[in-house]
Amino acid sequence: MQIKDLCTNCNFWTITTIENDGKIATFKCTHCENSFQMPWDPNTRLMIRSIRHSLKKRTKKYPELVNLKYHGDFIKLEKKSDTTPKPGQCK
């Protein structure tokens, strides 16, 4: 299985692969090959689900994420502010 996630090691958005043997899940960034392990339990599965869920919202905000397709791809997202100019504030 793979997800798109922000790698804490290389700080890029990359394809992260997740493999599990039923007890341990191994997450691996396909860009910098940093890997870490977590117990394969309901909490971890919930976390993966929430990453996938929030990705939909995030892709709307950052359409660049659509370009993240293949192992090794990496994207740096520009920070966008959520604040929109409020009307009535032109001085």
Interface residues toward Zn ion, by CB under 5 A: 7, 9-10, 29, 31-32, 34
Closest approach of Zn ion to the CB of residue 71, in Å: 12
* Contact between 61 and 42 (Cβ < 8 Å): no
* E strand or H helix at 59: helix 42-61
Q: Which residues are CB-neighbours of 20 under 8 A, at least 6 positions away? A: 26, 40
**Of residues 7 and 48, the one with the C-beta less far from Zn ion:** 7
Cβ proximity to Zn ion: between 11 and 41 the closer is 11
Closer Cβ to Zn ion, 33 or 41, answer by number: 33
